[in-house]
Amino acid sequence: MKQQTGEQLLQQIHEYIGNLSYMREPMGLYDPIEYVLGLGGKRLRPVLMLLAYNLYKEDVTRIFSQAAGIETYHNFTLLHDDLMDKADMRRNKPTVHKKWDENTAILSGDAMLILAYQFMMKKCPLECVERVMEVFGRTALEVCEGQQWDMEFEHRLDVTVDEYIEMIRLKTSVLLAAALKIGAILGGAPEKDAQLLYDFGIKMGLAFQLQDDYLDVYGDPAVFGKKIGGDILCNKKTFMLITALSLAEGEDKETLLNWLRATDYVAEEKIQSVTALYNKVGVPELCQARIDAYYKEGLELLDKVNVESSLKEELKKFVCHLMDRKL
Amino acid sequence: MKQQTGEQLLQQIHEYIGNLSYMREPMGLYDPIEYVLGLGGKRLRPVLMLLAYNLYKEDVTRIFSQAAGIETYHNFTLLHDDLMDKADMRRNKPTVHKKWDENTAILSGDAMLILAYQFMMKKCPLECVERVMEVFGRTALEVCEGQQWDMEFEHRLDVTVDEYIEMIRLKTSVLLAAALKIGAILGGAPEKDAQLLYDFGIKMGLAFQLQDDYLDVYGDPAVFGKKIGGDILCNKKTFMLITALSLAEGEDKETLLNWLRATDYVAEEKIQSVTALYNKVGVPELCQARIDAYYKEGLELLDKVNVESSLKEELKKFVCHLMDRKL
With 70 as the cut, is the pLDDT of residue A327 above it? Answer: no
Q: Give me the pLDDT at residue A231, please.
A: 95
Supply the mean pLDDT for chain B.
96
pLDDT tens digits along A9-66: 999 999 999 999 999 999 999 999 999 999 989 999 999 999 999 999 999 999 999 9
Rounded to a whole number, what is the distance in Å from the CA of A91 to chain B's nearest CA? 22
- Could you give the C-alpha distances from B96 to A64, B20, B93, B104, in angstroms and in order? 38, 20, 9, 7
Confidence of residue A69 (pLDDT cuts 50, 70, 90): very high
| Contact with chain B for residue A126, Cβ under 8 A | yes
With 80 as the cut, is the pLDDT of residue A225 above it? Answer: no
In degrees, rounded to 5, the angle at the alpha carbon of residue A35 between the alpha carbons of residues A34 and A40 is: 100
Bridge-based pairing of strands A93-94 and B89-90 is: unpaired
Strands, E, within chain A: which ranges? 89-90, 93-94
With 80 as the cut, is the pLDDT of residue B225 above it? Answer: no
| Contact with chain B for residue A89, Cβ under 8 A | no
Percent of chain A with pLDDT over 70: 100
Q: Give me the pLDDT at residue B327, please.
A: 63
Contact criterion met (CB < 8 Å) for B26 and A149: yes
Q: Which residue stretches of B86-190 are H helix?
A: 96-99, 102-121, 129-153, 161-168, 174-187
Nearest one of A34, A18, A48 to A100, comparing CA atoms: A34
Rounded to a whole number, what is the distance in Å from the CA of B98 to chain A's nearest CA? 16
Contact criterion met (CB < 8 Å) for B144 and A84: no
| Cβ proximity of B164 and B153 under 8 Å | yes
With 90 as the cut, is the pLDDT of residue B324 above it? Answer: no
Q: Give me the pLDDT at residue A316, please.
A: 97
A10-29 residues touching B, CB cutoff 8 A: 25-26, 28-29
What residues of chain A lie within 8 A of the CB of B115, using their CB? 141
| Cβ proximity of B194 and B185 under 8 Å | yes
pLDDT tens digits along B236-284: 999 999 999 999 999 999 999 999 999 999 999 999 999 999 999 999 9
Mean pLDDT of B187-191: 98
pLDDT tens digits along B10-63: 999 999 999 999 999 999 999 999 999 999 899 999 999 999 999 999 999 999
Contact criterion met (CB < 8 Å) for B133 and A121: yes
| Cβ proximity of A117 and A69 under 8 Å | yes
Torsion of CA A267, A271, A273, A278, to 10 degrees: 160
DSSP state of B216: H
What residues of chain A lie within 8 A of the CB of B26, using their CB? 145, 148-149, 152
DSSP state of A230: H
What residues of chain B lie within 8 A of the CB of A28, using their CB? 148, 152
Mean pLDDT of A242-267: 96
ipTM computed for the complex: 0.97
| Contact with chain A for residue B140, Cβ under 8 A | yes
Nearest one of B281, B212, B1, B106 to A110, comparing CA atoms: B106
Confidence of residue A226 (pLDDT cuts 50, 70, 90): confident
Contact criterion met (CB < 8 Å) for B29 and A145: yes
In chain A, the domains with their CATH numbers are: 1-123 (1.10.600.10), 130-308+316-327 (1.10.600.10)
What residues of chain A lie within 8 A of the CB of B25, using their CB? 145
The DSSP element (H or E) to which B90 belongs, if any, is strand B89-90
Supply the mean pLDDT for chain A.
96
Confidence of residue A221 (pLDDT cuts 50, 70, 90): confident
One-letter amino acid at B116 equals A
DSSP state of A88: -
Q: In whole angstroms, give the CA distance from residue A114 to residue A69.
A: 10
